[in-house]
Amino acid sequence: MSTVVYLNGQRVDYENAKVSVEDRGFQFGDGLYEVVHIYNGRFFYLDRHLARLQNGAKEIYMDLDFGLNNLEKVCRQAVKESGFNDASVYIQVTRGAAVRQHAFPKESSCTWVVIVRESKGNPQEFYENGITCITVPDERWSRCNIKTVQLLANCIAKEKAKKAGSFEAIFHRGGSVIEGSSSNVFIVKDNKLITHPANNKILNGITRGVVLEIADQNDIKYSEEVFCIDDLFDADEVFLTGTTTEIMPVVKVDGKIIGDGIPGKLTKIIQKYYQEHIQTVDC
């Protein structure tokens, strides 16, 4: 079992996986990415990730010239070759190599990479006891719904959280809570889930969508609406969602205790339903 890398559809050794210095992903951050979770050898919504990749490509006028079906085939082959039961599949697509200029090149071929690594997950105590977060101003561009590789602001926010001894940084803009640096944010108030609307200010996470589907299927009240920092601090419960984050309870933000300071009842219910749902998905 080992990390598997495919570059432009061909398997290569990890050490030999190299791209041009004039690749537009390197020069401009002109690219997209996805991360897909593998549970017990099964893909967790690869189809939804590829659909989001395709939608993002349309938004930035990128032609996925290698074909989504070919990408899916490579992803499945790479997972099989890795031998990992639990893994993450990292997909990155850029507009390819061209002489450096801001305008899109008239002719270029996408650079596309698939990397399969073993997934060891987060410590179980994080899910059982909860984690802490900080808040930071949202200084990103206004098209956060596109999953681009332009993540410097997210990386700075994550580093601030790390230096503060926290798991995640939660962005706010104009007093409104947006999302985490690599996660979506849910609050619970009076047994109702609340999360930011899926507009241009957030990435509409795959796990976020699964949580809303779970809520629908189990008569859990929810709304997609803007809420402020005071609502975050005053929430009965808070949790994060994401491909590698899964359903992560938050017990403290900016040093302020959330609810009773332990993972809440509804958060635990969502965690339970999510773990059950994982066992049924392979697509």
Give the span between the Cα atoms of 272 and 276, in whole angstroms: 6
Pair 183, 194: CB distance under 8 Å: no
Give the span between the Cα atoms of 250 and 90, in whole angstroms: 26
Strands 87-94 and 111-118: antiparallel
Task: Give Cβ neighbours of residue 20 (< 8 Å, ≥ 6 apart).
Answer: 26, 97, 111
Of 58, 106, 120, 147, the active-site residue reads 147
How far does CA 143 lie from the centroid of its chain? 15
Does the active-site annotation cover 252? no
Burial code (b: 16+ CB inside 10 Å, e: under 16) for 101-127 equals: eeeeeeebebbbbbbbbebeeeeeebb
Give the span between the Cα atoms of 11 and 80, in whole angstroms: 13
Q: Report residue 135 as tokens.
A: 């808040």
Task: Give Cβ neighbours of residue 247 (< 8 Å, ≥ 6 apart).
Answer: 127, 207, 211, 239, 240, 241, 267, 270, 271, 274
Please, is 230 exposed, middle or buried when counting C-beta atoms within 10 Å of its C-beta (0-12, 13-18, 19+)? exposed
Residue 14 DSSP code: G
Pair 24, 98: CB distance under 8 Å: yes
Nearest C-alpha neighbor of 98 from the set 180, 19, 13? 19
Give the catalytic positions in this structure.
147
